[in-house]
């Protein structure tokens, strides 16, 4: 049986990679921790904001691997002798993945008031017309 996808449409040539990205993004973010927002902050700019209360800058890591933006957090396990009667503040490690389109780059990141902001910008490719000459065969 042949797998049917939108990239197999006869007028969409060379979009197999886009099909792979859609599959990868479907697998990327099924867990709900930490909560996040994605906002459009300009015509070609975006901001991802993660709620990372309790994490320091040293405990957070931002990488790009194969067009995936990967945000990781791991708090150090400091045993300082505390005895918790109730522990409701999550201190677990996390990993969030976001698939980036070609031309989308990270322009900066900041940590403020327990929120990790990752700013993205998309470069707009210039439109060009190319004429192909026809030769006799």
Q: How far apart are CA 23 and CA 37, in angstroms?
A: 21
pLDDT tens column, 12-60 = 777 677 677 667 666 655 568 899 999 999 999 999 999 998 899 999 9
The length of the chain, given as a count of residues? 137
Return the residue matching tokens 């975006």: 46
Higher pLDDT, 93 or 29: 93
Q: How far apart are CA 88 and CA 75, in angstroms?
A: 15
Supply the pTM of this predicted model: 0.73
Q: How far apart are CA 49 and CA 125, in angstroms?
A: 26
Of 7-11, 58-62, 110-114, minimum mean pLDDT range: 7-11
Nearest to 95 by CA among 72, 76, 118: 72
* pLDDT for 74: 94
Q: How many Cα atoms within 13 Å fall on the side-chain side of residue 109?
A: 17
> Where do the domains of the chain lie?
1-30, 32-77+86-126
**Top CATH class, 32-77+86-126:** mainly beta
* pLDDT for 102: 86
């Amino acid at each position: 049986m042949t797998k049917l996808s939108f990239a197999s449409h006869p007028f969409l040539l060379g979009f197999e990679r886009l099909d792979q990205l859609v599959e990868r993004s479907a697998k990327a973010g099924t867990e709900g921790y930490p909560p996040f927002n994605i906002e459009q902050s300009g015509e070609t700019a975006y901001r991802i904001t993660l709620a990372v209360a309790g994490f320091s800058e040293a405990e957070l890591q931002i990488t790009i691997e194969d067009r995936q933006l990967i945000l990781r957090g791991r708090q150090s396990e400091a045993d300082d002798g505390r005895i918790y009667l109730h522990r409701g503040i999550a201190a677990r490690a996390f990993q969030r993945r976001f698939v980036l389109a070609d031309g989308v780059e990270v322009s900066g990141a900041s940590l403020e008031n327990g929120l990790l902001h990752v700013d993205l910008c998309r470069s707009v490719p210039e439109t060009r017309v190319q004429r192909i000459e026809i030769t006799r065969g």
